[in-house]
Every structure is written in C-alpha cells, then in structure tokens.
Chain A
Amino acid sequence: MVNLTINGTVHRVDAEPDTPLLWVIREQVGLTGTKYGCGVAQCGACTVHVDGVATRSCSLPISAVTSEHKIVTIEGLSPDTSHPLQKAWLELDVPQCGYCQTGQIMAAAALLQANPNPSDEDIVAEMTNICRCGTYNRIKAAIKLAASENRG
C-alpha cells in the first residue's frame, strides 16, 4: 500500500511498486481524464503535474513517488473548468476527438507556469504531445490566448 497525494487528497492505494502512476490514477483512484496512449512516454496523453512539473505518468512507477509529491491531474487543474487554458481551449474550439487534449492542457499549464509569456519557439519546444486529429495550430493559438488573458 502506498499513499499518493492527488488533487489535494491523499489516496491509499493497493498497487505493486512498479505500477506506472498512470494506471494507479486511472484504475485505483478512478480518475480517467488522464489517458493511456503509448506507455513509453512518447505521446504525452498521460501528462500530469508532479510538484508542478509536466510528467508523463505512464512511465513513472509509483515507487518513485511519495505522499509528499503533489500530483495534479486534469480533474484537479481547476474546480470548474476555469483555468485560463481551459477557457482559451473552449473559445477556440480546439479539440477534435479530444483524447489527447487533457494531456495537452496539462503540458501547456506547466509551460505557462514556468513561462507566462512564451514565444512560438518556446511553445513548440515544450509542447511535444502527439495529436492525431491535428489540432496543433489551435493548441498553439489557445496557449497564446491564455497567456495574453493572464497578462490582462
């Protein structure tokens, strides 16, 4: 049994130490907004924040995490879908199928946390998640929109 702090709540979970954080979040904790795409940290659909850092949870065993680590999933990004990125995503109708979008938003949220005013180059350097529907341009525009809203 391990304790994990997810979205501010401590969860006591029964999982083997080598279980990826992704599957504990999805199966033991029951939060399914974090997606499985590849299992090898390539696609980023599983992106969560661990102490504010965008982390591909499919490749992080829970043995590497303690209850001291603050894990935030898409469900914990804002209480009412009010994060500036979520609002920008809505404004620009970014998602198509939407499967990768929670990971995209989590990656973008970490980017804006570290760099509130990213250039195009900063955005494409950090945003390496895969989207098969092809929403990249709208994602980029939404990040810039959210950044500009933040600046007021």
Chain B
Amino acid sequence: MPAALDASRRSFLVGSAAAAGGLALGISIPFASEALAQSAPEINAWVMVRPDETVVVRIGRVEMGQGTLTGLAQLVAEELECDWSKVTTEYPTPGQNVARSRVWGNFQTAGSRGVRDSHDYMRKGGAAARQMLIQAAANGWGVPAGECTVVKGVITHSPSGRTTTYGKVAEAASKLEAPKDVQLKDPKDWTIAGKPVKRLDTAEKLNGSQIYSIDVKRPGMLNAAIKACPVFGGKLKSFDAAQVQGMPGVKKVVAVGDNAVAVVADTWWRAKTALDALPIEWDGGPNAALSSESIDQMLKEGLAAEQAFVGNQAGDIKAAIAGAAKKVEADYGFPYQHHATMEPMNATALWTNDRCEVWTATQNAEAALATAVAASGLTIDKCDVYRQNLGGGFGRRATSHDYVRQAVLIAKEMPGTPVKLIWSREEDMLHGHYHPITQARIVGALDADGNLTGLRMRISGQSILAGVNPQGLQNGRDPATFQGLNPSGTEGVLGYTIPNLLIDHAMRNPPIPPGFWRGVNNNQNALYLECFMDELAHAASKDPLEFRRKLLVNHPKHLAVLNAVAEKASWGTPAPQGVYRGLAQHMGYGSYVAACAEVSVGDNGVLKIHRIVAATDCGHAVNPQQIAAQIEGSFVYGLTALLYGEITLRDGKVEQENFDSYQMMRMDEMPEVESIVMPSGDFWGGVGEPTIFVAAPAVLNAIFAATGKRIRSGPLTKADLRRA
C-alpha cells in the first residue's frame, strides 16, 4: 500500500495509510535543503564510488532479515558492472528523500515489495551510473565512449589498451548529465544478480557488533518504560508519581497522550522497575467488556448476513448449489495473531524546540517521519528519522509507528535530552496490531461425476484497511480481504476455474487494532480454500492432486508449482510408514506457491511434521539461496501460527502477555524444508511472504490424511488429533 504522493517538487504527502491512526499530513518543504553527507562522489542517487573503489549502493527499502538489501545491491551491481566484493550499502533518511523529491522512491517495505517494486528504477540507476563512469573515462582520454568497456569496475579503452577504474573517474562522472535512456541487461546474462551470493550483512550479526534500534546510544541519553491502557480504546485516568519519584535512577514520570504513562530513568531497567511500582488507574472505556466470545458471535452473525461485499463472482451460484448432486459445507476460522518480533517496539527521540530526531526500526521510514512530525509539533524540515536495523518486522513496523509517537511525546517532556523508549515484551504483546480475525462459511456443489460446479465462500470478519487506512476502502469494500481469491490482476488470482462462484465478505470490525502480518489475508484465504478443496476432493472420491489439476487447467503457473511439489514429494507413491501427505497451492504478492507436507500423528495425538516440499515461481530469482531462506522461514512463521498462534481477549484486554502464554515453534518442531525455486521469467513476484500461505493448509490436509479429522481453525493446541 504505497503512501499517497504528490509528485510536485515542493510538496510531500504521506497518507494515513503510511502514517496510521488517521493522520494525514500535507507538508511543503524546501526542495533540496539537505543532501546526504558526501563520503564519496555521487554518480546518481543510487551509486557513489569512493576513491578506494568502494561502491556504495543507496537502498530505499529496508532490510529486516528478508535479504532485500543484498538483492537490491546485486541488481544495481549487475548493471553497474562493478566488483561485487567492493559493494557496500547505505540508507538515505526519509528527510533526505523528501528533500530530494523522493528520488529513492517509496520506503515502504511490506507486501513482499522490496525487490519486485524496486528492481526497475534501481537497475536503471546502476546502468545510468555505468554509462556516466565510462563516459567520464572516455572524456578523460578524448575517445568515444563506445570504444570503452568495463569489467568489475575497470574501464578499458580497447583500441589503445589504456585502463582506469571507477574510483579514479567517479569525481568527473558525478558532474556529467545523467543519460536519458539506459538499456537493461537481459536477465539471462546476469552474473551477480540471479546468483546465490552471500548476504552483505552477516558478519556483524555474529559478534554482537550489529546495532539494532534497541541498542542505540546517544550522548546523555535517558531511558523510558511505558504502559498504555491495556484495554483497547481505554484511557489513562490517574497515576501517583510521588510513589516512585525517589526510586533509583528515576528522572520523571510523564503522561503520554491520553492513554499511557511512562517513567524516564537513567537505565531502562530502573525505569521499568519504577513503572511496575507506579500506582496507575485506567478508564477501560467502551470496550471493557469485550471478549473473544463476543467477537466470535459478531463474526458468526456475519456468516449468514444478507449484506456483503463481493470479491469474485461467476455464473449462478444459487442454481448450482440447488442443483448439486452432492453438497459439501463447512465453517472455518482464523484467530488473531501477534507479530512478536524478537526485538520489542522501541525508538529513541531527541526533541528541542527547533529539531526532532528519531532513531528507530521501521519498515517505512517516511511513515515514521510523518508520525514524528505530527507528535513533535514541528515542521517536517525540522525532523528526521534515522533508520536502525530491525529485530524483525513481519508487518508490525510497517503501518503503525505508535512507538515513535510515544517516544517523541516523551522526549518533548525532556527537551535536549535523547530518550530511548523500549516496550517490555508484555507491552509489545498487549499493544500489537494483530493479524485480523475472520471466519468463513463455504459451500461446494458437486455433480454426479464429482466435478465442482459451484463454490460459495462467505468471509466474515475484520478488515485491515478499515483499521489502518479507511480511505483505501472502495465504497466500504476492502479489496485486500480477497487476496488470492481475485478473478484477475497480477497480485493474487484464484487459480481454480469454477463455473458458478460467489466469494463475498461481511465486514465485521471488532475494536482491536488490525495490522499487516506476514502473508496478511492470504493466510486465512489459502487455509479456507485449500482445506476445503481437500474436503471436496474427498467428497468426490478423487485424489486431491488430480481434483486440483483439473480445476487449474486455465492457470498454468498455478498448476506448475503444484506439479513441482507433487513430483518432488513423490505424490501418488507410498509415503514412509505412518507418514501422510497434504497439498496446497495459492497465489499472492505476484508469486505462485505450493507445498506438500508430510506428517505423522501418534496414537497419543502428537503431531510430527517431517518434511515440507515447497515451490515458488517468483518470476525472477535475484538470489536463489536467500529465496530458499525465506521459504524456510515462512514455514516457521506460518506453522507457529497454526500450532500455537491465538490472541484471545477478556475484559477488553489481550490475555497473552509473553512467550510463556504465546508459544513459538522451536527447533525441535521444525520440519525439513526442501525448496524449489522455479522462476518462469516474465514477471516479478514477491518472496518474503508467499510461501507462508500454503504452510498451514498443506499441514492440515496431511493431518486429515493421517487421522480422518478436519481441523478447520488453529491453533492445533486446542485440537484433539487422535484418530477418530
């Protein structure tokens, strides 16, 4: 979801999608008031070359573990024809991006967009820089640029044999006009992109030297711990600062907005200790009686409601169901999930009456900047955000920068003193922006030969857009609800051709802040559809693979990934004793994915997931080994949700406060993951999320094969898996 952009040079608009919380800013700032600290000649916005031949690639998107930083650098280096071993990277700040007319594009790093939405302008940036560097060398020699070639940053004038290097001509190149047209390489000629090169950012993660946002140190910095009203929508009523003012290290106790209180101390531990001792009274407000049961009733009502937004429609579904030889019906559900990034939310802010600076981990530094501007009371030219490494993102740090707002509000109470706000894990659990809750009622119509003649899916539940960006709704409809179920488009198309079809959404929005959570609505949509496809195949007495194949005939890319996993997993041949297989396929974020899970279930009902075979067709594979890493990781995230993930509410408050009550999959439960990276080459799809979609449905279908039990909602901790 890109931030709205007024492309005029002097104005910058961050929509509420980016800033969250209904905040919209239209701000004019002086153009080019600020430039990056020039550590080397800037050939263009993307490329700087230092005299020692180091190539600095500027990255607009953010690295949070998904490998985008390395992948984008590969694409620039590929076109630049530089020495890969000399490549390093740098983040421009959002203030610099704004000041330079958003020359680095959209910073938002979500929706698996890091590479697929940036490759074109970044490759062109690399190619343009190459031409300018060659031109500068040619000018120096007084020869036509066409007589010069470059290999690994060494430019050669072929007729005379003279050579020079990028580092030597960078200064001259930086003064040249940028070329108007650049030719990009054919991906089949890639030598750096498309290769499984090592990540650029590993070494510092192995010895403690990598600085994450939570590690930021500023001169004279104090630390803050915070508690916001645990009931969503509730307010801070009162607190008794006198009770903790004398505690070790305590500097100040401050109200933060109308719903939170923070203690500022010399160390965070002392701030937290005092905060825990602080008497606080909350006003729970209108949601104080909210519970998981009341939310469940709200959604159940939606399953049968008259009114709903249509997502995909074909033929006459009523007639198809009425005329079915066999009708299959089932209700499914997907509970709230928490992101649970390993690094809890935090931000460091320094505020004076003419400057506000923030150091933080964010998936969208422009949105973080907009949030800081609004909280600071200053104009955007007086504010900036310095991007720090993220200890996980998964969507939590993409749309809501509540932690930035709080840090700035606290810093405003201590002008001139940098304050680092760290949420405790408990605060992080209680104040998430959760994967939304939905349910689905699905009806399938089979004819006498077991062909699927009609499918009716009613989704009931929460819209993310309604929570984070109501302006993104289309006449009240949330198009993102139908991820992977769409009739057309390039993002996520339903692969099955079903003559009579109705998929619609009864929007029911409990007052729980929703957020984009790795995979987003594809997670439940794939679970609902792919598990139900298995139910249909079973009801039709057909093999689940053959049943799907027939319906996917019009969508060869969907079919190809499914076939690939079936073949690698030897579908149709006996599995090892006691092991059962399940399949799933889905399309989302532009990529086609499928998985075959192999599980066993003991007589005691204990599940063991042995192996996952997963395929992705992401169009172009910029770094196959990092794609494999994303595939492996996506299964951990998706299977954790299936095995354990459920945020529940009581008295308006989240019941799970830490990893003891919100468990994570650990190494002992991790299956082998065999990945098939099969880029078909004519499009650019995402990588960070897509394979998560098929994690849960493949495993649930394998559980059915093993036990005869249909589990239609997670988490599995609530399910009895003993054979019926």
Contact = CB atoms under 8 A, between A and B. Distances in A.
Interface of A: 15-16, 19-20, 23, 26-28, 30-40, 42-43, 45, 73-75, 77-78, 81, 86, 89-90, 93-102, 105, 123-125, 127-140
B666 A128 contact: yes
Interface stretch (B255-263, B386-394, B434-442, B613-621): B386-394
Nearest to A98: B205
A99 B270 CA distance: 23
B399 interface: no
B248 A75 contact: no
Contact of B65 (A38, A39, A130, A133): A133
7 contacts: A33-B208, A38-B659, A96-B66, A96-B633, A130-B659, A132-B342, A133-B392
A98 B202 CA distance: 8
A84 to B, nearest CB: 12
A130 B211 contact: no
B209 A38 contact: no
Interface stretch (B567-575, B601-609, B634-642): B634-642
B203 A35 contact: no
Contacts of B660: 40, 42
B673 interface: yes
Given A36-B344, A130-B666, A134-B670, 6 more contacts: A32-B214, A93-B629, A102-B207, A105-B206, A132-B341, A140-B667
B633 to A, nearest CB: 3
A97 B208 contact: no
A132 B629 contact: no
B268 A23 contact: yes
Contacts of A73: 208
B269 A27 contact: yes
A75 B207 contact: yes
Instruction: Output the residue of A16, A77, A95 with the most chain B CB within 10 A.
Output: A95
A32 B203 contact: no
Contact of B211 (A32, A77, A90, A140): A32
Contacts of A130: 342, 659, 664, 666
B639 to A, nearest CB: 9
B268 A123 contact: no
A133 B633 contact: yes
A113 B444 CA distance: 58
A136 B667 CA distance: 5
Contact of A40 (B66, B391, B659): B659
B634 A124 contact: no
A112 B66 CA distance: 29
A124 B667 contact: yes
Nearest to A30: B217
A86 to B, nearest CB: 5
Given A28-B267, A133-B392, A139-B667, A39 B658 contact: yes
A97 B206 contact: no
A150 B67 CA distance: 30
A39 B425 contact: yes
Instruction: Output the residue of A43, A78, A136 with the most chain B CB within 10 A.
Output: A136
A100 B659 CA distance: 14
A137 to B, nearest CB: 6
B207 A99 contact: no
Contacts of A96: 65-67, 629, 633
A78 B208 CA distance: 11
Contacts of B629: 93, 96, 135, 138
B668 A125 contact: yes
B392 A136 contact: no
Instruction: Output the residue of B207, B268, B394 with the most chain A CB within 10 A.
Output: B207
A7 B634 CA distance: 36
A81 B207 CA distance: 6
B202 to A, nearest CB: 6
Interface in B49-66: 64-66
Interface in B63-115: 64-67
Contacts of B205: 95, 98, 101-102
A45 B659 CA distance: 12
B563 interface: no
A101 B202 CA distance: 10
Interface of B: 64-67, 198-199, 201-212, 214-215, 217, 223, 248, 267-270, 273, 340-344, 389-394, 422, 424-425, 625-626, 629, 632-637, 640, 658-660, 664, 666-668, 670, 672-673
A121 to B, nearest CB: 9
Contact of A35 (B273, B391, B424, B634): B391
A150 B217 CA distance: 37
Nearest to B393: A97
Contacts of A28: 267
A100 B273 CA distance: 25
A72 to B, nearest CB: 11
Contacts of B632: 134-138
Contacts of A90: 198, 202-203, 206
Contacts of B343: 35, 37, 97, 99
A31 B424 CA distance: 19
A14 to B, nearest CB: 9
B198 A39 contact: no
Given A95-B202, A127-B667, A137 B673 contact: yes
A23 to B, nearest CB: 4
A102 B110 CA distance: 26
Q: Which 7 A-B pairs have the closest CB atoms?
A: A33-B208, A134-B636, A99-B391, A134-B633, A97-B65, A98-B205, A96-B65
A38 B625 CA distance: 31
A28 B273 CA distance: 16
A102 B209 CA distance: 10
A99 B269 contact: no
A128 B424 CA distance: 21
A36 B422 contact: yes
B717 to A, nearest CB: 16
Nearest to A79: B207
Contacts of B67: 96
Contacts of B273: 16
B625 A93 contact: yes
Contact of B269 (A19, A74, A89): A19
B206 A39 contact: no
Contacts of B214: 32, 35-36
A132 B211 contact: no
A99 B341 CA distance: 9
A150 to B, nearest CB: 17
A130 B199 CA distance: 22
Given A20-B269, A37-B342, A93-B199, A74 B208 contact: yes
B202 A33 contact: no
Contacts of B390: 97
A105 B672 CA distance: 21
Contact of A23 (B269, B391, B668): B269
Given A127-B667, A134-B636, A97 B207 contact: no
A109 B625 CA distance: 26
B64 A97 contact: yes
A16 to B, nearest CB: 6
Nearest to A86: B206
B202 A93 contact: yes
B664 to A, nearest CB: 5
A45 B206 contact: no
A94 B203 CA distance: 10
Nearest to B518: A132
A16 B217 CA distance: 22
Contacts of A94: 202
Contacts of B248: 16
A86 B269 contact: no
Contact of A102 (B65, B208, B625): B208
Nearest to B206: A86
A32 B211 CA distance: 8
B543 to A, nearest CB: 30
